[in-house]
Structure 1
Amino acid sequence: MLTQNLGYPRIGSHRELKKICENYWAEKTGYKNVLQVGKNIRHDNWLMQKDAGINIIPANDFSFYDHVLDHSLMFGAIPKRYNEVIMKKGNSELDLYFAMARGFQKDGLDVVAMEMTKWFDTNYHYIVPEFYKDQPFKLFSTKIIDEFYEAKQLGIITKPVLIGPISYLLLGKEKETGFEKIDLIKNLLPVYLDILTRLDALDVEYVQFDEPFLTLDLGDKEKKAFEYVYKEIRKTFPRLKIVLATYFGGLNNNLDLTVSLPIDVLHIDLVRGEDQLNDVLAALSDKTILSLGLVDGRNIWKNDFEKSISIINQAVEKLGKDRVWIAASCSLIHSPVDLGNETNEKNLPQEIKQWLSYAKQKVEEIVTLKKLVNNETSASALQKLEENKIAISNKKTSALIHDVVVKERVLALKDSDAFRLNTFSKRKVKQQKLNLPQYATTTIGSFPQTVEVRSWRAKFKNGVITEDEYNDLIADETAKAVKWQEEIDLDVLVHGEFERNDMVEYFGEQLKGFAFSKNGWVQSYGSRCVKPPIIFGDVSRPKPMTVKWSAYAQSLTSKHMKGMLTGPVTILQWSFVRNDQPRAETCTQIALAIRDEVCDLEKAGIKIIQIDEPAIREGLPLRKVDWQTYLNWAVKAFKISASGVKDETQIHTHMCYSEFNDIIQNIADMDADVITIETSRSQMELLDAFADFNYPNEIGPGVYDIHSPRVPKREEMVKLLQRAKAVIPAEQLWVNPDCGLKTRGWDETKKALIEMVSAAKEMRKDAEILIPEQHISN
């Protein structure tokens, strides 16, 4: 019996990757230093897994920004607009790579970034490949070969990891009409064969092909492509051992296809697809090895050893030990790095910490399970089993977890609690009293969190400054932001959120049922790392969370100040969620807590309240058959959070990096008065779904990309607004960036927002101002 790992976090145990990349982008360090830090992280990861006892260790799971972008560069799938970046003297392959991810605005060049979206139903973002009809591919980057050789120099024979060719194509987007992306498979496969030829020459034994689309709904073309690709690979490389990794769900109706493929090892996710084991065991061919994804790669709870051992024994009884491997459910990039870095008892008490497992500990769990199944009676293995039993038992019975009052409040909910008093058409008439202009301008909520602002929070938490001193600093920064917004003539202002660390963590810190790590960082995109809260128990709101700062900011201006909240689905999705009750129940508990906050903001005189739900599309199950159940409870949770206010109070929501076409009716069912969405990277393509549907409420399509450091020009934003106006009536349109501005610098933020306000005013020049009769009568 062997153990394998599908992938390991690449950020470094102390976010070394984030720090070196951001210093490089700021031109504070050189190219060689970036490469060296990357090399150090890879070496540490490989050696740690080897020392822990993992038999099959992955390579090419490291990335400086995103593994999908790595593949686009490797295959030469580089959009033509980056040609000038390639040719610019002094630019390296790494500069080209970062330009594709972040855009490039330097030395007279101004190139927009590639589109970004969510990696299946996770909070990880990937860079979307761009495809054109008859597109050629070629081996452009040899990263995968270089890193295998690098590990070999350390004495470690690794398993190179590739996104499978079908999944890579399905992750991309057709940038012109007249073809389907899957049609490019015959152009792409030769590059895979070229890579495998080079790896074969280095005596590679195993190659891992990640094909998560096998857990999704597939059409006939995609199924035929799977058969074609893997037959060609097997025919060309009869000696190579192919590991086919599926994850994020069960194979279900793709099981027969999958087991028919000429592969050596099939990996299945038994966390997200726990019911598939019997079917897979029955269908598996006589020789194929089965890799059991038992340790949860997407959550931080300890593995239940007794349960896992029972599953392993079931597989061994059918297949024999030689045909069973033990692994995590998916790559560990979705897990924090090392629980050993958690030393803060205040935020993460030992009673909760004993229930947790980070990536390093998950690797150890995989190895321990192998030892226990092999009946190793070493003191260490037996001690770990006993500790595991105690932790699992304690978690089930802990008084920290259950709150009777919260459970009773959920049970007492009525259908009417999920509906506003009147329909949007009636609310809109009353909201005319807000006196907002056509093409009203606003931002999504946050302003730059400078090094100085973050230092104040650190000093306060470490006791260097008092709470009063900290609050005075935040108040002064808020006042400056309000004044500046007035100066550039924004219509609806925000307070800037300088007191907040993260849009989910900030709320979790003030809600019961949450715990917090000090170093539980996971990669969201590029250098952006987040520290998800840990929902371990029933959730409630002991006291108001945001009213103080929103009311203070409103007192500084006669313009409307938006109250800024994170919605229940996003708090759920972007947290590590308890696994002992349905997610829908936990989400409803959070919704009630947010509802209380919304009502208190209204009482404090805040007339516009934004409840962000960027993760609602992300939470959609991968199989359509499961969609409606999720959408029913997710939409209801949002409506519970938003429906306790008067018609005059305008409710906004925000969503980003999502494809809306399939769930547009459900988004309309959320019944937010205004929705703001990301559309800039897609050049307003995402707006088509709202236009085709005839979306009834108001909408703010993001007019510039905040995930790129480039500053867009007014003319660029006007063109985007004109595209929006062509499909959405002008009276429904708002003007805003596509996301919050927390990660940007003040210089670029100010320049971009000034251009944005100017663009809105230009649009108003030609707009016919219509005053509804209802408004006149008021």
Structure 2
Amino acid sequence: MSVVTSLVGFPRIGAGRELKRVIERYWKGQASIEQVRQVAADLRSKHWRLQADRGIDLIASNDFSYYDQMLDTAILLGLVPARYRNLGLGAEDTLFAMGRGYQGPQGDVTALPMKKWFTTNYHYLVPEIEESAQVKLSSSKPFDEYLEARALGIETKPVLIGPYTFLKLARGPQGEVLHYDAGLIDAVAAVYAQVLRRFIELGAQWVQLDEPYLVLDKEEGDISLFKGLYARILPARSSSQGSVKLLLQTYFGHVGDCYETLKLQGFDAIGLDLVEGRDENLAALNRYGVSEGTTIVAGVVNGRNIWRNNYATSLGLIDAVRQVTPRLALSSSCSLLHVPFSLEGENGLDETVQAHIAFAVEKVGELEELAQLADAGESDRRESQVLAANQALFDGKRVQADAAVAARIAGLKAEDYARQPERAQRQELQRTELGLPLLPTTTIGSFPQTREIRAERARLRKGEISQAEYDRYIADCIDQVIAKQEQIGLDVLVHGEFERNDMVEYFGQHLKGFLFTQGAWVQSYGTRCVKPPIVWGDISRAEPITVRWSSYAQSQTQHLVKGMLTGPVTILNWSWPREDVSHELQTQQLSLAIRDEVLDLEAAGIRVIQIDEAALREKLPLRRSDWHTHYLNWAIPAFRLVHSGVKATTQIHTHMCYSEFNDIITDIDAMDADVISFEASRSDLTVLDAIQAAHFETEAGPGVYDIHSPRIPSQVEMEDRIRLILSKMDVSKVWINPDCGLKTRGEAETWPSLEHMVAAARVVRAELTQE
């Protein structure tokens, strides 16, 4: 019997970001909703046909979304909070209002909270379950897309976020963890059972329920919650009209601590990640075996990186599973949503480089080839040209080590990771030296990258203008943004980052060891896409990166101007890191490169330097026992290495984006920055409780408004938020800022929002001085 192949999911944004473009045109009133629907249908058709042509047996449907699958699941369950229902919008516009907020003739509402999807750079919308919520099947999307594929002659495997993961990630109206009472469990399970029965009616053969939350540590009641849900769902696989097979799909780690429970439930198939959870998952299989009638779907093609699969390694994993059970299928380790679409058109990468890289389309091909090799006998494998060509990629060293970089790392000493004097003393010196008021106002760094700015960058790239002409244009942009910031009264200014295409790619272009793609875009949230650079070799700084424009901006104003850098952990986490050396080593190399930049900025007279670590939490291991041994014990020192050499009076800021910070708040404090800004506007400032409890020493700027939404918050709204912050933080430690950079926002909402923010800070500041 031939090995069955399955894909957890496929990218949905399109090879040319077609979905992003049409949705953004729709938001601007330049496309109709019918055009959006047509582009979406064309993409689904193209992606299904591509997988079918490559011989994938279990092709996913309902992995497509206009914005986010967690959001789609909330809508499926009828969990649309009243404030969005009351807008009276159509289906798509209600979804967009939940994802990005709404401000218009129908009302004014903020968006749902947004958090990182496990250890990826993808963001999901946090479902909100109101006390009065009525859980019921409220969308036909999964059924519509299944029938849409069938009309094309393609049988698919409908995919949904599983009920356990959905409930564990959902929150109450104030961001609180849910109480899983019997009524909620019954109602949610009833909808999933209804979904299975409907798919039986439609003749579906398989349904996949994604339960990645199973790879996390288990809290009290978690196993009972899981079993309670599936005790109600699994019987719905059969009815008088037939049956459907249920694939329980896990990814991003191992389920060794609950595999026995999964086995005993009697699922038709269990999907295991044999990349990130390899050893523990294999150990569980060997210890507990596999129930009769259950297929193990082995995730051997990495859905999280862009490097070619080592077929010999994967075949070893396949053989190891076969030692336990003959019922085996092959799959990606997770959805291919997390990698770019295709290498086609990447003409800037040398063929010898491309040979080592696989994006989503190429990974589909790898899965097909692995299935063929898995079916082949031992002698056929030995004679296989495909296997031989693949093995040649992994024989010998791909790149030579940089001796100078290695020597510099070998020479690091303990004192290189410790800044002197201690932070409390530094903060007193900085208050005197910098002369800032209470509640100093600033922004996170970037200002809107308009179409005109991107056009000038393209003209430079095409040779239509000279470097000198481009530089004059950037200088003019900086002049304008400095003058505007002075006008509205910000205390600490930024130069706007107009010269930068991306906060990671820009730095990579000035570092040795990086390669870059032309169109390898990956979805980050909604229509937002990123194009990570590739770490190819050892890393060092080729030249000063930011000193010129930061110095220029400071020369144009008497206000303080922050130097803006991206930190080493974030550069690595938002790149495609090497797999032939450790992440720790790559981060150390980056730390030394950025340290050089910090010291050059200080020497150039920049007295406030922000080193963004937006992605610090992103790669925190999902198992708490691995946090320090596998990550924090080198990630936190890496940040300290970057700034430990500056003077006491130079103020070091950092910034972090959408993540859960509460449980690592002491580690964040241990970064030894002077000031941190972070996302808080979508999470109802719940992180402030953790700051208060931990006696947080770092000065902090919890974001007072959400820049990922186009709505303009009022001054009164921000005054109230500042007062809430002050109820839980020492006023001497509070900064006022948006919750992230303004690069993706438009001018029309950016400046009014900042004006309201500055005015709000002044009002509260005046209240404090009167007390």
User: The TM-score by the shorter chain falls in which range?
Assistant: over 0.9
Is the contact made by 2:266 and 2:291 (CA closer than 8 Å) also made in structure 1? no
Q: What aligned pairs does 1:120-159 form with structure 2 within 5 A after superposition?
A: 120-133=118-131, 135-159=133-157
Is the contact made by 2:193 and 2:234 (CA closer than 8 Å) also made in structure 1? no
Tell me how large the CA RMSD over aligned residues is: 1.7
Partner of 1:252: 256
Is the contact made by 1:355 and 1:392 (CA closer than 8 Å) also made in structure 2? no
Q: Which stretch of the first structure deviates more once superposed, 48-57 or 285-294?
A: 285-294
Q: Does the residue aligned with 2:518 lie in a helix, a strand or coil? A: coil
Q: What aligned pairs does 1:132-211 form with structure 2 within 5 A after superposition?
A: 132-133=130-131, 135-175=133-173, 180-181=179-180, 184-211=184-211
Q: What aligned pairs does 1:270-289 form with structure 2 within 5 A after superposition?
A: 270-275=274-279, 276-283=281-288, 284-289=290-295
Partner of 2:753: 752
Could you tell me how far 1:108 is from its partner in structure 2? 5.3
Q: 5+ residue gaps in structure 1?
A: 771-778
For 1:378 and 1:487, how far apart are their aligned partners in 2?
Answer: 74
Is the contact made by 1:165 and 1:188 (CA closer than 8 Å) also made in structure 2? yes
Partner of 2:598: 598
Partner of 2:368: 367
Is the contact made by 2:512 and 2:541 (CA closer than 8 Å) also made in structure 1? yes
Q: Does the residue aligned with 1:12 lie in a helix, a strand or coil? A: coil
Is the contact made by 1:132 and 1:174 (CA closer than 8 Å) also made in structure 2? yes
Partner of 1:774: none
Give the TM-score normalised by the residue count of structure 1. 0.95
Q: What aligned pairs does 1:410-429 form with structure 2 within 5 A after superposition?
A: 410-429=409-428
Could you tell me how far 1:254 is from its partner in structure 2? 1.6
Q: Does the residue aligned with 1:670 lie in a helix, a strand or coil? A: coil
For 1:292 and 1:767, how far apart are their aligned partners in 2?
Answer: 61
Partner of 2:485: 485
Q: Deviations over 1:473-503 (max 9, x none)?
A: 1111111111111111110000000010111
Give the residue type in structure 2 aligned to 1:290: I
Is the contact made by 1:401 and 1:513 (CA closer than 8 Å) also made in structure 2? no
Q: 5+ residue gaps in structure 2?
A: none
Give the residue type in structure 2 aligned to 1:55: D
For 1:710 and 1:178, how far apart are their aligned partners in 2?
Answer: 27
Q: Does the residue aligned with 2:79 lie in a helix, a strand or coil? A: coil
Could you tell me how far 1:229 is from its partner in structure 2? 2.3
Is the contact made by 1:173 and 1:181 (CA closer than 8 Å) also made in structure 2? no
Q: Which stretch of the first structure deviates more once superposed, 258-267 or 297-306?
A: 258-267
Could you tell me how far 1:181 is from its partner in structure 2? 4.3
Partner of 1:243: 247
Partner of 2:96: 98
Change beyond 3 A, Cα 1:300–1:282: same
Could you tell me how far 1:318 is from its partner in structure 2? 3.3
Q: Paired residue for 2:37, among 12, 35, 38?
A: 35
Could you tell me how far 1:748 is from its partner in structure 2? 0.7
For 1:397 and 1:633, how far apart are their aligned partners in 2?
Answer: 25
Q: What aligned pairs does 1:547-566 form with structure 2 within 5 A after superposition?
A: 547-566=547-566
Could you tell me how far 1:135 is from its partner in structure 2? 3.5
For 2:660 and 2:16, how far apart are their aligned partners in 1?
Answer: 34
For 2:310 and 2:106, how far apart are their aligned partners in 1?
Answer: 57
Q: Does the residue aligned with 1:70 lie in a helix, a strand or coil? A: helix
Q: What aligned pairs does 1:328-367 form with structure 2 within 5 A after superposition?
A: 328-344=332-348, 348-367=349-368
Q: Deviations over 1:520-552 (max 9, x none)?
A: 100000000000111122111121111011001
Q: Does the residue aligned with 1:734 lie in a helix, a strand or coil? A: coil
Change beyond 3 A, Cα 1:522–1:181: farther
For 1:148 and 1:614, how far apart are their aligned partners in 2?
Answer: 38
Q: Does the residue aligned with 1:705 lie in a helix, a strand or coil? A: coil
Q: Deviations over 1:722-761 (max 9, x none)?
A: 0001010111111100000000001110111111110111
Could you tell me how far 1:397 is from its partner in structure 2? 1.4
Is the contact made by 1:182 and 1:222 (CA closer than 8 Å) also made in structure 2? no
For 2:528 and 2:727, how far apart are their aligned partners in 1?
Answer: 35
For 2:159 and 2:550, how far apart are their aligned partners in 1?
Answer: 48
Give the residue type in structure 1 aligned to 2:461: K
Q: Which stretch of the first structure deviates more once superposed, 674-683 or 596-605?
A: 674-683
1:405 and 2:404 are equivalent in the alignment: yes
Q: Which stretch of the first structure deviates more once superposed, 229-238 or 19-28?
A: 229-238
Change beyond 3 A, Cα 1:18–1:628: same
Could you tell me how far 1:467 is from its partner in structure 2? 1.2
Partner of 1:741: 742
Could you tell me how far 1:280 is from its partner in structure 2? 1.4
Could you tell me how far 1:178 is from its partner in structure 2? 9.6
1:262 and 2:266 are equivalent in the alignment: yes
For 2:680 and 2:178, how far apart are their aligned partners in 1?
Answer: 23
For 2:527 and 2:79, how far apart are their aligned partners in 1?
Answer: 23
Q: Does the residue aligned with 1:441 lie in a helix, a strand or coil? A: coil
Could you tell me how far 1:134 is from its partner in structure 2? 6.2
Give the TM-score normalised by the residue count of structure 2. 0.96
Deviating runs (4+, > 6 A) in structure 1?
376-379
For 2:650 and 2:406, how far apart are their aligned partners in 1?
Answer: 29
For 2:139 and 2:118, how far apart are their aligned partners in 1?
Answer: 25
Is the contact made by 1:135 and 1:187 (CA closer than 8 Å) also made in structure 2? no
Change beyond 3 A, Cα 1:178–1:41: closer
For 2:122 and 2:106, how far apart are their aligned partners in 1?
Answer: 32
Is the contact made by 1:564 and 1:609 (CA closer than 8 Å) also made in structure 2? yes
Is the contact made by 2:510 and 2:542 (CA closer than 8 Å) also made in structure 1? yes
Is the contact made by 1:231 and 1:262 (CA closer than 8 Å) also made in structure 2? no
Is the contact made by 1:136 and 1:188 (CA closer than 8 Å) also made in structure 2? no
For 1:179 and 1:378, how far apart are their aligned partners in 2?
Answer: 55
- Give the total of aligned pairs: 757
